A and B are shown apart, each in its own frame.
Chain A
Amino acid sequence: MTWEPVIGLEIHVQLKTRTKMFCRCANVWGEDPNTRTCPVCLAHPGVLPVPNRRAIEWTVKLGLALGCEVAPRAVFARKNYFYPDLPKGYQISQYEQPLCGPGRFVVPGPAGDHEIGIVRAHLEEDAAKTIHVGGAAGRIHGAETSLVDFNRGGTPLVEIVSEPDLRSAEQAKRFLQLLRQTVVELGISDAEMEKGSLRCDANVSVRRAGEAGYRTKTELKNMNSFTFVARGIEAEVERQIATYEAGGEVVQETLHFDPQTGSITPLRSKEEADDYRYFPEPDLVPVAPPAELVASLAAAIPELPGARIRRLEQEIGFDLAEGLVTSGRDRLYERVEGDRRAVANVIMNQLAGAGVDTERVDPAELGRLIEARERMPRTVFDEAIGRAAEPGFSAAPYLEQQAVSDAGELEPAISAVLAAHPDQVAAYRGGKDGLLGFFVGQVMKATGGKANARVVSELVRERLGA
Protein backbone atom coordinates (compact mmCIF):
# COMPACT_ATOMS: atom_id res chain seq x y z
CA MET A 1 0.00 0.00 0.00
CA THR A 2 1.35 3.40 -0.90
CA TRP A 3 1.18 6.46 1.31
CA GLU A 4 0.06 9.90 0.23
CA PRO A 5 1.53 13.01 1.84
CA VAL A 6 -0.93 15.76 2.78
CA ILE A 7 0.73 19.14 3.12
CA GLY A 8 -0.48 22.63 3.90
CA LEU A 9 1.74 25.67 4.19
CA GLU A 10 1.55 28.68 6.47
CA ILE A 11 3.58 31.49 5.01
CA HIS A 12 4.56 34.82 6.52
CA VAL A 13 5.56 37.62 4.17
CA GLN A 14 7.22 40.74 5.54
CA LEU A 15 5.90 43.82 3.76
CA LYS A 16 8.44 46.42 2.72
CA THR A 17 6.35 49.41 3.70
CA ARG A 18 8.25 52.50 4.80
CA THR A 19 6.87 52.34 8.33
CA LYS A 20 5.71 49.73 10.79
CA MET A 21 2.19 48.33 10.90
CA PHE A 22 0.78 50.31 13.82
CA CYS A 23 3.30 53.10 14.45
CA ARG A 24 5.32 55.28 12.14
CA CYS A 25 8.78 54.05 13.08
CA ALA A 26 10.80 53.32 9.96
CA ASN A 27 10.56 49.72 8.76
CA VAL A 28 14.21 49.11 7.97
CA TRP A 29 16.57 46.20 8.27
CA GLY A 30 19.97 45.96 9.91
CA GLU A 31 19.97 49.06 12.11
CA ASP A 32 21.60 49.16 15.56
CA PRO A 33 19.45 47.47 18.20
CA ASN A 34 16.56 49.46 19.62
CA THR A 35 17.06 52.53 17.46
CA ARG A 36 13.77 52.10 15.59
CA THR A 37 11.33 52.12 18.44
CA CYS A 38 8.76 54.43 19.95
CA PRO A 39 6.29 54.26 22.83
CA VAL A 40 3.82 52.43 20.56
CA CYS A 41 6.08 49.59 19.43
CA LEU A 42 7.59 49.32 22.91
CA ALA A 43 4.04 48.98 24.27
CA HIS A 44 4.36 51.74 26.80
CA PRO A 45 1.36 52.32 29.03
CA GLY A 46 -1.46 54.15 27.27
CA VAL A 47 -0.30 53.93 23.67
CA LEU A 48 -2.60 53.00 20.80
CA PRO A 49 -2.09 51.43 17.37
CA VAL A 50 -2.82 53.29 14.14
CA PRO A 51 -2.91 51.06 11.04
CA ASN A 52 -0.66 51.60 8.06
CA ARG A 53 -2.84 52.29 5.04
CA ARG A 54 -0.29 51.02 2.53
CA ALA A 55 0.02 47.69 4.36
CA ILE A 56 -3.73 47.24 4.13
CA GLU A 57 -3.74 48.03 0.42
CA TRP A 58 -0.85 45.68 -0.27
CA THR A 59 -2.55 42.85 1.57
CA VAL A 60 -5.65 43.35 -0.54
CA LYS A 61 -3.48 43.34 -3.65
CA LEU A 62 -1.76 40.12 -2.60
CA GLY A 63 -5.12 38.56 -1.77
CA LEU A 64 -6.38 39.42 -5.25
CA ALA A 65 -3.27 37.87 -6.80
CA LEU A 66 -3.96 34.69 -4.81
CA GLY A 67 -7.49 34.57 -6.12
CA CYS A 68 -8.94 35.43 -2.71
CA GLU A 69 -12.18 37.16 -1.92
CA VAL A 70 -11.55 40.54 -0.32
CA ALA A 71 -13.64 40.77 2.82
CA PRO A 72 -16.24 43.55 2.87
CA ARG A 73 -15.36 44.01 6.52
CA ALA A 74 -12.18 42.85 8.22
CA VAL A 75 -11.55 42.99 11.93
CA PHE A 76 -8.24 43.11 13.78
CA ALA A 77 -8.07 40.77 16.74
CA ARG A 78 -5.75 40.30 19.68
CA LYS A 79 -3.88 37.04 20.00
CA ASN A 80 -2.83 36.86 23.63
CA TYR A 81 0.33 35.15 24.84
CA PHE A 82 3.43 36.07 26.77
CA TYR A 83 6.87 36.24 25.23
CA PRO A 84 9.61 38.88 25.54
CA ASP A 85 9.50 39.59 21.80
CA LEU A 86 5.81 40.47 22.08
CA PRO A 87 5.74 43.72 24.04
CA LYS A 88 2.00 44.14 24.51
CA GLY A 89 1.45 40.56 25.63
CA TYR A 90 -0.69 40.16 22.53
CA GLN A 91 -0.14 40.25 18.81
CA ILE A 92 -2.52 42.32 16.75
CA SER A 93 -3.61 39.93 14.03
CA GLN A 94 -6.84 38.96 12.33
CA TYR A 95 -8.90 36.00 13.35
CA GLU A 96 -12.54 35.45 12.46
CA GLN A 97 -12.68 38.19 9.85
CA PRO A 98 -9.43 38.29 7.86
CA LEU A 99 -8.88 40.85 5.12
CA CYS A 100 -8.69 38.17 2.40
CA GLY A 101 -10.92 35.14 2.48
CA PRO A 102 -10.89 31.87 0.57
CA GLY A 103 -9.08 31.75 -2.75
CA ARG A 104 -7.47 29.43 -5.28
CA PHE A 105 -3.92 29.83 -6.49
CA VAL A 106 -3.03 28.03 -9.70
CA VAL A 107 0.37 26.37 -9.71
CA PRO A 108 1.38 25.08 -13.15
CA GLY A 109 3.12 21.73 -13.15
CA PRO A 110 4.68 19.60 -15.90
CA ALA A 111 1.55 17.46 -16.04
CA GLY A 112 -1.08 20.17 -15.75
CA ASP A 113 -2.30 22.83 -13.32
CA HIS A 114 -2.68 22.32 -9.61
CA GLU A 115 -5.19 24.51 -7.86
CA ILE A 116 -4.04 25.09 -4.32
CA GLY A 117 -6.76 26.36 -2.03
CA ILE A 118 -5.97 29.45 0.01
CA VAL A 119 -7.77 29.50 3.35
CA ARG A 120 -7.00 33.12 4.09
CA ALA A 121 -4.46 35.91 3.87
CA HIS A 122 -4.45 38.30 6.78
CA LEU A 123 -2.46 41.20 8.11
CA GLU A 124 -0.62 41.17 11.42
CA GLU A 125 2.43 42.57 13.17
CA ASP A 126 5.83 40.91 13.47
CA ALA A 127 7.53 40.06 16.74
CA ALA A 128 10.77 41.65 17.90
CA LYS A 129 14.10 39.89 17.67
CA THR A 130 15.49 37.96 20.60
CA ILE A 131 19.14 37.08 20.75
CA HIS A 132 19.95 34.25 23.10
CA VAL A 133 23.25 34.58 24.88
CA GLY A 134 25.17 32.66 27.45
CA GLY A 135 24.35 29.10 26.39
CA ALA A 136 24.46 26.99 23.27
CA ALA A 137 24.22 29.46 20.43
CA GLY A 138 21.02 29.88 18.52
CA ARG A 139 18.68 27.60 20.45
CA ILE A 140 16.49 28.75 23.26
CA HIS A 141 17.31 25.96 25.66
CA GLY A 142 20.63 26.19 27.38
CA ALA A 143 20.82 29.96 27.04
CA GLU A 144 20.97 31.88 30.28
CA THR A 145 19.70 35.27 29.19
CA SER A 146 18.20 36.81 26.12
CA LEU A 147 18.53 40.29 24.67
CA VAL A 148 15.51 41.82 23.01
CA ASP A 149 15.78 44.25 20.10
CA PHE A 150 12.46 45.85 19.17
CA ASN A 151 13.49 47.28 15.78
CA ARG A 152 11.59 44.56 13.91
CA GLY A 153 8.77 44.52 16.45
CA GLY A 154 5.52 45.72 14.94
CA THR A 155 6.53 45.58 11.29
CA PRO A 156 3.78 44.39 8.93
CA LEU A 157 3.40 40.72 8.04
CA VAL A 158 0.93 39.00 5.79
CA GLU A 159 0.09 35.50 6.86
CA ILE A 160 -1.07 33.19 4.08
CA VAL A 161 -2.58 29.83 4.97
CA SER A 162 -3.04 27.20 2.29
CA GLU A 163 -5.46 24.31 2.30
CA PRO A 164 -3.81 20.90 2.77
CA ASP A 165 -3.88 20.51 -1.00
CA LEU A 166 -0.20 19.81 -1.61
CA ARG A 167 0.72 16.18 -2.25
CA SER A 168 4.52 16.16 -2.35
CA ALA A 169 7.49 18.06 -1.04
CA GLU A 170 8.33 18.96 -4.61
CA GLN A 171 4.89 20.43 -5.17
CA ALA A 172 5.10 22.37 -1.92
CA LYS A 173 8.40 23.84 -3.02
CA ARG A 174 6.99 24.70 -6.44
CA PHE A 175 3.98 26.42 -4.82
CA LEU A 176 6.21 28.37 -2.46
CA GLN A 177 8.54 29.49 -5.24
CA LEU A 178 5.67 30.67 -7.40
CA LEU A 179 4.12 32.46 -4.42
CA ARG A 180 7.43 34.13 -3.67
CA GLN A 181 7.80 35.33 -7.24
CA THR A 182 4.23 36.65 -7.19
CA VAL A 183 4.94 38.64 -4.02
CA VAL A 184 8.18 40.00 -5.44
CA GLU A 185 6.50 41.08 -8.67
CA LEU A 186 3.72 42.84 -6.77
CA GLY A 187 6.52 44.93 -5.28
CA ILE A 188 5.34 44.43 -1.71
CA SER A 189 8.18 42.38 -0.23
CA ASP A 190 11.73 41.25 -0.87
CA ALA A 191 10.52 37.81 0.19
CA GLU A 192 13.97 36.42 0.91
CA MET A 193 13.85 33.23 2.93
CA GLU A 194 17.45 33.55 4.06
CA LYS A 195 16.75 36.98 5.54
CA GLY A 196 13.46 35.94 7.06
CA SER A 197 11.32 38.24 4.97
CA LEU A 198 9.60 35.09 3.71
CA ARG A 199 8.98 32.39 6.32
CA CYS A 200 7.34 29.06 5.88
CA ASP A 201 5.88 26.51 8.27
CA ALA A 202 4.45 23.25 6.96
CA ASN A 203 1.62 21.15 8.30
CA VAL A 204 2.35 17.57 7.34
CA SER A 205 0.39 14.36 7.57
CA VAL A 206 0.19 11.19 5.51
CA ARG A 207 -2.62 8.81 4.64
CA ARG A 208 -3.09 5.60 2.72
CA ALA A 209 -3.80 6.11 -0.93
CA GLY A 210 -7.55 6.33 -1.32
CA GLU A 211 -8.17 6.93 2.37
CA ALA A 212 -10.75 9.60 3.17
CA GLY A 213 -10.19 12.30 5.77
CA TYR A 214 -6.93 13.37 7.34
CA ARG A 215 -4.69 11.83 9.96
CA THR A 216 -2.84 13.66 12.73
CA LYS A 217 -0.63 16.42 11.41
CA THR A 218 2.60 17.83 12.72
CA GLU A 219 3.89 21.35 12.23
CA LEU A 220 7.37 21.92 10.86
CA LYS A 221 8.64 25.33 11.86
CA ASN A 222 10.65 27.96 10.09
CA MET A 223 12.67 26.31 7.36
CA ASN A 224 14.77 29.05 5.85
CA SER A 225 15.31 28.01 2.24
CA PHE A 226 13.27 26.38 -0.50
CA THR A 227 15.56 23.36 -0.42
CA PHE A 228 15.15 22.97 3.35
CA VAL A 229 11.38 23.24 3.01
CA ALA A 230 11.43 20.35 0.53
CA ARG A 231 13.93 18.29 2.50
CA GLY A 232 12.18 18.94 5.80
CA ILE A 233 8.82 17.86 4.43
CA GLU A 234 10.37 14.79 2.82
CA ALA A 235 12.05 13.77 6.04
CA GLU A 236 8.86 14.28 8.03
CA VAL A 237 6.77 12.32 5.53
CA GLU A 238 9.24 9.45 5.76
CA ARG A 239 9.23 9.60 9.53
CA GLN A 240 5.44 9.46 9.68
CA ILE A 241 5.23 6.58 7.22
CA ALA A 242 7.85 4.67 9.19
CA THR A 243 5.96 5.36 12.40
CA TYR A 244 2.69 4.01 11.01
CA GLU A 245 4.37 1.02 9.40
CA ALA A 246 5.97 0.12 12.72
CA GLY A 247 2.49 0.13 14.23
CA GLY A 248 2.92 3.46 15.99
CA GLU A 249 0.90 6.66 16.05
CA VAL A 250 1.91 10.14 14.97
CA VAL A 251 1.35 12.70 17.72
CA GLN A 252 0.43 16.31 17.11
CA GLU A 253 3.49 18.42 17.84
CA THR A 254 5.64 21.24 16.60
CA LEU A 255 8.90 20.11 15.06
CA HIS A 256 12.23 21.55 14.13
CA PHE A 257 14.10 20.31 11.05
CA ASP A 258 17.87 20.48 11.24
CA PRO A 259 19.16 20.74 7.66
CA GLN A 260 22.70 19.89 8.81
CA THR A 261 21.85 16.47 10.16
CA GLY A 262 18.48 15.98 8.49
CA SER A 263 17.01 15.20 11.91
CA ILE A 264 13.62 16.24 13.20
CA THR A 265 13.12 17.13 16.86
CA PRO A 266 10.17 18.43 18.89
CA LEU A 267 10.38 22.22 19.32
CA ARG A 268 8.28 22.54 22.45
CA SER A 269 5.93 20.26 24.22
CA LYS A 270 2.23 20.90 23.97
CA GLU A 271 1.54 20.17 27.63
CA GLU A 272 0.43 23.76 28.05
CA ALA A 273 -2.09 23.87 25.24
CA ASP A 274 -2.25 27.14 23.35
CA ASP A 275 -5.17 29.28 24.38
CA TYR A 276 -4.73 32.59 22.64
CA ARG A 277 -7.98 34.13 23.87
CA TYR A 278 -8.61 35.94 20.61
CA PHE A 279 -11.05 38.83 20.75
CA PRO A 280 -11.72 41.86 18.52
CA GLU A 281 -9.05 44.54 19.05
CA PRO A 282 -11.00 47.33 20.80
CA ASP A 283 -8.35 49.95 19.99
CA LEU A 284 -8.99 49.61 16.25
CA VAL A 285 -12.05 49.95 14.08
CA PRO A 286 -12.92 47.49 11.29
CA VAL A 287 -11.45 47.77 7.81
CA ALA A 288 -14.04 47.94 5.04
CA PRO A 289 -12.06 48.20 1.80
CA PRO A 290 -13.99 50.55 -0.48
CA ALA A 291 -15.07 48.88 -3.74
CA GLU A 292 -13.28 51.51 -5.87
CA LEU A 293 -10.07 50.89 -3.97
CA VAL A 294 -10.29 47.13 -4.53
CA ALA A 295 -11.06 47.68 -8.20
CA SER A 296 -8.10 49.98 -8.70
CA LEU A 297 -5.79 47.56 -6.89
CA ALA A 298 -7.05 44.71 -9.04
CA ALA A 299 -6.47 46.74 -12.19
CA ALA A 300 -2.89 47.40 -11.15
CA ILE A 301 -1.98 43.71 -10.91
CA PRO A 302 0.34 42.72 -13.76
CA GLU A 303 0.31 39.38 -15.61
CA LEU A 304 1.15 36.93 -12.86
CA PRO A 305 4.01 34.41 -12.96
CA GLY A 306 1.71 31.38 -13.13
CA ALA A 307 0.12 32.64 -16.33
CA ARG A 308 3.48 33.49 -17.82
CA ILE A 309 4.79 29.96 -17.22
CA ARG A 310 1.91 28.57 -19.26
CA ARG A 311 2.49 31.10 -22.00
CA LEU A 312 6.24 30.45 -22.26
CA GLU A 313 5.79 26.70 -21.99
CA GLN A 314 4.53 26.69 -25.58
CA GLU A 315 7.84 28.05 -26.79
CA ILE A 316 10.42 26.40 -24.60
CA GLY A 317 8.86 23.58 -22.61
CA PHE A 318 7.72 23.52 -19.01
CA ASP A 319 11.02 23.19 -17.17
CA LEU A 320 12.70 26.16 -18.82
CA ALA A 321 9.55 28.25 -18.58
CA GLU A 322 9.13 27.55 -14.89
CA GLY A 323 12.80 28.13 -14.19
CA LEU A 324 12.84 31.44 -16.00
CA VAL A 325 9.64 32.75 -14.51
CA THR A 326 10.18 31.76 -10.87
CA SER A 327 13.66 33.21 -10.97
CA GLY A 328 12.40 36.41 -12.56
CA ARG A 329 14.80 35.88 -15.46
CA ASP A 330 12.02 35.70 -18.00
CA ARG A 331 12.10 39.47 -18.07
CA LEU A 332 15.43 39.27 -19.85
CA TYR A 333 14.32 36.29 -21.91
CA GLU A 334 11.39 38.29 -23.30
CA ARG A 335 13.73 41.02 -24.45
CA VAL A 336 16.36 38.90 -26.20
CA GLU A 337 15.71 38.06 -29.85
CA GLY A 338 16.73 34.77 -31.40
CA ASP A 339 16.02 31.06 -31.19
CA ARG A 340 13.69 30.75 -28.16
CA ARG A 341 15.13 27.57 -26.77
CA ALA A 342 18.69 28.72 -27.21
CA VAL A 343 17.95 32.03 -25.52
CA ALA A 344 16.15 30.32 -22.67
CA ASN A 345 18.93 27.78 -22.24
CA VAL A 346 21.68 30.33 -22.17
CA ILE A 347 19.86 32.57 -19.69
CA MET A 348 18.72 29.75 -17.41
CA ASN A 349 21.84 27.60 -17.50
CA GLN A 350 24.81 29.67 -18.48
CA LEU A 351 24.01 33.16 -17.19
CA ALA A 352 22.53 31.82 -13.98
CA GLY A 353 25.39 29.35 -13.57
CA ALA A 354 27.92 32.13 -13.91
CA GLY A 355 26.08 34.16 -11.29
CA VAL A 356 25.37 37.00 -13.70
CA ASP A 357 22.81 39.58 -12.63
CA THR A 358 20.29 39.28 -15.46
CA GLU A 359 18.84 42.70 -14.67
CA ARG A 360 22.02 44.35 -15.87
CA VAL A 361 22.42 42.47 -19.12
CA ASP A 362 21.93 44.33 -22.41
CA PRO A 363 19.44 42.15 -24.30
CA ALA A 364 20.65 43.21 -27.76
CA GLU A 365 24.26 42.31 -27.02
CA LEU A 366 23.25 39.04 -25.43
CA GLY A 367 21.13 38.23 -28.48
CA ARG A 368 24.09 38.77 -30.74
CA LEU A 369 26.25 36.49 -28.62
CA ILE A 370 23.67 33.71 -28.57
CA GLU A 371 23.11 33.96 -32.30
CA ALA A 372 26.85 33.49 -32.91
CA ARG A 373 27.57 31.07 -30.11
CA GLU A 374 28.17 28.05 -32.38
CA ARG A 375 30.65 29.93 -34.48
CA MET A 376 32.60 30.98 -31.43
CA PRO A 377 35.14 29.01 -29.46
CA ARG A 378 33.42 27.77 -26.28
CA THR A 379 35.91 29.43 -23.97
CA VAL A 380 35.34 32.76 -25.69
CA PHE A 381 31.60 32.39 -25.43
CA ASP A 382 31.84 31.48 -21.74
CA GLU A 383 34.03 34.46 -21.05
CA ALA A 384 31.61 36.76 -22.85
CA ILE A 385 28.71 35.38 -20.82
CA GLY A 386 30.62 35.94 -17.60
CA ARG A 387 31.02 39.60 -18.47
CA ALA A 388 27.60 40.23 -19.97
CA ALA A 389 26.43 42.29 -17.00
CA GLU A 390 29.43 44.58 -16.96
CA PRO A 391 28.69 48.22 -17.77
CA GLY A 392 29.14 49.01 -21.46
CA PHE A 393 29.47 45.34 -22.38
CA SER A 394 29.69 44.76 -26.12
CA ALA A 395 29.53 41.43 -27.95
CA ALA A 396 31.63 42.71 -30.88
CA PRO A 397 35.17 41.81 -29.72
CA TYR A 398 34.05 38.27 -28.88
CA LEU A 399 32.23 37.80 -32.18
CA GLU A 400 35.45 38.43 -34.05
CA GLN A 401 36.99 35.34 -32.50
CA GLN A 402 35.51 32.75 -34.82
CA ALA A 403 35.53 29.08 -33.93
CA VAL A 404 37.47 26.57 -36.03
CA SER A 405 35.09 25.35 -38.74
CA ASP A 406 37.59 24.10 -41.25
CA ALA A 407 37.15 20.34 -41.76
CA GLY A 408 40.83 19.85 -42.51
CA GLU A 409 41.85 21.44 -39.27
CA LEU A 410 39.31 19.43 -37.27
CA GLU A 411 39.90 15.99 -38.83
CA PRO A 412 42.92 14.95 -36.73
CA ALA A 413 41.15 15.63 -33.48
CA ILE A 414 38.01 13.77 -34.60
CA SER A 415 40.06 10.78 -35.70
CA ALA A 416 41.88 10.68 -32.37
CA VAL A 417 38.64 10.80 -30.37
CA LEU A 418 36.96 8.05 -32.40
CA ALA A 419 40.07 5.88 -32.16
CA ALA A 420 40.16 6.31 -28.39
CA HIS A 421 36.54 5.23 -27.87
CA PRO A 422 35.90 2.09 -29.95
CA ASP A 423 33.13 0.82 -27.65
CA GLN A 424 31.15 4.02 -27.95
CA VAL A 425 31.65 4.02 -31.71
CA ALA A 426 30.23 0.52 -31.84
CA ALA A 427 27.33 1.48 -29.65
CA TYR A 428 26.57 4.51 -31.79
CA ARG A 429 26.52 2.43 -34.85
CA GLY A 430 24.26 0.03 -33.02
CA GLY A 431 21.68 2.82 -32.72
CA LYS A 432 22.63 4.85 -29.64
CA ASP A 433 22.27 8.25 -31.36
CA GLY A 434 22.57 10.03 -28.07
CA LEU A 435 26.33 9.39 -28.06
CA LEU A 436 26.82 12.03 -30.73
CA GLY A 437 26.92 14.69 -28.02
CA PHE A 438 29.61 12.70 -26.23
CA PHE A 439 31.89 12.65 -29.26
CA VAL A 440 31.33 16.36 -29.88
CA GLY A 441 32.16 17.08 -26.28
CA GLN A 442 35.39 15.08 -26.48
CA VAL A 443 36.44 16.91 -29.64
CA MET A 444 35.68 20.24 -28.03
CA LYS A 445 37.82 19.23 -25.09
CA ALA A 446 40.65 18.13 -27.35
CA THR A 447 40.58 21.45 -29.21
CA GLY A 448 40.46 23.51 -26.06
CA GLY A 449 36.89 24.62 -26.86
CA LYS A 450 37.90 26.37 -30.04
CA ALA A 451 36.02 24.10 -32.46
CA ASN A 452 32.65 25.02 -33.98
CA ALA A 453 30.41 22.48 -32.32
CA ARG A 454 27.89 22.37 -35.17
CA VAL A 455 30.59 21.61 -37.75
CA VAL A 456 32.15 18.97 -35.46
CA SER A 457 28.77 17.38 -35.04
CA GLU A 458 28.26 17.16 -38.83
CA LEU A 459 31.73 15.77 -39.42
CA VAL A 460 31.38 13.09 -36.74
CA ARG A 461 28.03 12.05 -38.16
CA GLU A 462 29.52 11.79 -41.66
CA ARG A 463 32.47 9.79 -40.39
CA LEU A 464 30.32 7.31 -38.57
CA GLY A 465 28.29 6.97 -41.73
CA ALA A 466 24.81 7.27 -40.29
Chain B
Amino acid sequence: MAITREQVLHVARLARLRIPEGEVEAVQAQLGAILDAVSKVSELDLAGAEPTSHPLDLVNTWDEDISRPSLPREEALANAPDPAENAFRVPSAG
Protein backbone atom coordinates (compact mmCIF):
# COMPACT_ATOMS: atom_id res chain seq x y z
CA MET B 1 0.00 0.00 0.00
CA ALA B 2 1.73 3.10 -1.20
CA ILE B 3 1.22 6.52 0.26
CA THR B 4 2.20 9.39 -1.99
CA ARG B 5 4.36 12.32 -1.06
CA GLU B 6 1.34 14.60 -1.47
CA GLN B 7 -0.71 12.46 0.89
CA VAL B 8 2.08 12.55 3.47
CA LEU B 9 2.25 16.32 3.25
CA HIS B 10 -1.54 16.65 3.41
CA VAL B 11 -1.77 14.45 6.50
CA ALA B 12 1.14 16.30 8.11
CA ARG B 13 -0.66 19.59 7.52
CA LEU B 14 -3.88 18.22 9.04
CA ALA B 15 -1.88 17.04 12.06
CA ARG B 16 0.06 20.31 12.28
CA LEU B 17 3.43 18.60 12.04
CA ARG B 18 6.01 20.28 9.83
CA ILE B 19 8.20 17.56 8.40
CA PRO B 20 11.61 19.04 7.56
CA GLU B 21 12.18 18.94 3.80
CA GLY B 22 14.92 16.33 3.99
CA GLU B 23 12.84 13.89 6.01
CA VAL B 24 9.69 13.62 3.94
CA GLU B 25 10.88 10.59 2.01
CA ALA B 26 11.87 8.68 5.12
CA VAL B 27 8.51 9.39 6.74
CA GLN B 28 6.76 8.36 3.53
CA ALA B 29 8.64 5.05 3.47
CA GLN B 30 7.88 4.27 7.12
CA LEU B 31 4.22 5.12 6.84
CA GLY B 32 3.99 3.09 3.64
CA ALA B 33 5.44 0.03 5.36
CA ILE B 34 3.10 0.33 8.34
CA LEU B 35 0.07 0.94 6.12
CA ASP B 36 1.01 -2.20 4.18
CA ALA B 37 0.88 -4.18 7.38
CA VAL B 38 -2.32 -2.70 8.76
CA SER B 39 -4.29 -2.86 5.51
CA LYS B 40 -4.55 -6.53 6.34
CA VAL B 41 -7.81 -5.64 8.07
CA SER B 42 -9.43 -5.02 4.72
CA GLU B 43 -9.01 -8.70 3.76
CA LEU B 44 -12.01 -9.51 5.92
CA ASP B 45 -15.52 -9.13 4.56
CA LEU B 46 -17.33 -7.54 7.47
CA ALA B 47 -20.19 -5.85 5.68
CA GLY B 48 -22.74 -7.02 8.24
CA ALA B 49 -20.70 -6.53 11.41
CA GLU B 50 -21.37 -3.78 13.92
CA PRO B 51 -18.40 -1.59 14.83
CA THR B 52 -17.15 -1.65 18.42
CA SER B 53 -16.05 1.77 19.58
CA HIS B 54 -16.12 0.88 23.24
CA PRO B 55 -15.32 -2.37 25.06
CA LEU B 56 -18.20 -2.02 27.53
CA ASP B 57 -21.82 -1.59 26.53
CA LEU B 58 -22.62 1.42 28.72
CA VAL B 59 -25.11 4.23 28.18
CA ASN B 60 -26.18 7.40 29.98
CA THR B 61 -23.37 8.27 32.30
CA TRP B 62 -23.77 11.92 33.10
CA ASP B 63 -23.52 14.40 35.92
CA GLU B 64 -26.01 16.75 37.54
CA ASP B 65 -25.90 20.42 36.55
CA ILE B 66 -24.37 21.64 39.80
CA SER B 67 -21.31 23.85 39.67
CA ARG B 68 -18.02 23.22 41.38
CA PRO B 69 -15.26 25.76 41.95
CA SER B 70 -13.11 26.71 38.99
CA LEU B 71 -9.35 27.10 39.20
CA PRO B 72 -7.96 30.36 40.55
CA ARG B 73 -6.75 32.25 37.50
CA GLU B 74 -3.09 32.05 38.57
CA GLU B 75 -3.36 28.26 38.48
CA ALA B 76 -5.11 28.28 35.13
CA LEU B 77 -2.26 30.33 33.70
CA ALA B 78 0.53 28.71 35.71
CA ASN B 79 1.74 26.47 32.89
CA ALA B 80 1.11 28.95 30.05
CA PRO B 81 4.11 29.52 27.75
CA ASP B 82 3.03 33.12 27.05
CA PRO B 83 0.49 34.53 29.49
CA ALA B 84 -0.57 38.14 28.89
CA GLU B 85 -3.39 40.31 30.21
CA ASN B 86 -4.86 37.42 32.21
CA ALA B 87 -5.12 35.37 29.06
CA PHE B 88 -3.22 32.91 26.88
CA ARG B 89 -1.40 34.77 24.15
CA VAL B 90 -0.82 33.29 20.71
CA PRO B 91 0.40 34.71 17.43
CA SER B 92 -2.42 35.41 15.04
CA ALA B 93 -3.25 33.38 12.01
CA GLY B 94 -1.00 34.78 9.26
Contact = CB atoms under 8 A, between A and B. Distances in A.
A, B bound: yes
Given A145-B91, A148-B88, A19 B14 contact: no
Interface residues of B, number: 32
B59 A26 contact: no
Nearest to A73: B59
Contacts of B71: 37-39, 42
Contact of A143 (B54, B76, B85, B92): B92
Max chain A CB contacts within 10 Å: which of B58, B73, B87, B89? B87
B92 A17 contact: no
Contacts of A284: 61
A34 B61 CA distance: 28
Which 10 residue pairs spanning A and B have beta carbons closest together? A147-B87, A54-B65, A285-B58, A280-B53, A53-B62, A24-B68, A288-B59, A143-B92, A51-B62, A148-B88
A34 B87 contact: yes
Interface residues of A, number: 53
Interface string B1-37: 0000000000001101000000000000000000000
Interface of B: 13-14, 16, 53-54, 56, 58-68, 70-71, 73, 76-77, 84-93
A143 B62 CA distance: 40
A26 B67 contact: yes
B88 A84 contact: yes
B88 A37 contact: no
Nearest to B16: A82
B49 to A, nearest CB: 16
A25 B70 CA distance: 6
A285 B60 contact: yes
Contacts of A55: 65
Nearest to B90: A84
Given A282-B54, A285-B61, 4 more contacts: A24-B68, A37-B71, A52-B63, A140-B92
A286 interface: yes
Interface in A69-120: 73, 75, 82, 84
A190 to B, nearest CB: 17
A132 interface: yes
B87 A52 contact: no
Contacts of B63: 24, 50-53
19 contacts: A18-B67, A24-B68, A25-B67, A25-B70, A26-B67, A33-B85, A37-B71, A37-B76, A42-B71, A73-B59, A131-B87, A145-B91, A146-B90, A147-B87, A147-B89, A275-B14, A285-B58, A285-B59, A285-B60
Nearest to A44: B79
A56 B60 CA distance: 10
Contacts of B84: 145, 147
B53 A282 contact: yes
A170 B86 CA distance: 43
A38 B70 contact: yes
Given A18-B65, A51-B63, A140 B93 contact: yes
A149 interface: yes
Interface in A252-286: 272, 275, 277, 279-280, 282, 284-286
A287 B58 CA distance: 9
A135 interface: yes
A53 B64 contact: yes
A32 interface: yes
Nearest to A281: B53
A19 B76 contact: no
Contacts of B73: 32-35
A280 to B, nearest CB: 4
A400 B8 CA distance: 85
A35 B85 CA distance: 13
